Amino acid sequence: MAVRLDGHKQGIDLRMATGVKQKEIEETRDRYKDKKSIQIKNPHTEKWEWVKIISIHKHFMVIQTKHYQTSIAWRDILTGYTKVREG
């Protein structure tokens, strides 16, 4: 079984594994659709930092911090793994 970049094995239903429903993902995606920037909590420094939203996709959004570009999965926001404040 192949492993994706985010560490999950293909073939596992992520909605079953995390308890997140597709409707909740769509509502979260729509909430951030019109936003230009948000705040995220950096897990290394435990500080809040402003990030710019670059693009929004079906399962994740791409953001730009001061030093790097990364993506955040909608399920991580919904489960609380990634802390986000709307700005």
Domain boundaries, the chain: 21-86
Query: Can you give the pTM of this predicted structure?
Result: 0.73
Helix (H, G, I), strand (E, B) or coil at 29: helix
- Domain 21-86 adopts which CATH fold? SH3 type barrels. (2.30.30)
What does each of the 87 residues of the chain score in pLDDT, given as a tens digit? 444 555 555 554 554 456 788 899 999 999 999 999 999 998 888 999 999 999 999 999 999 999 899 999 999 999 989 999 986
Q: What is the CA radius of gyration of the chain?
A: 13
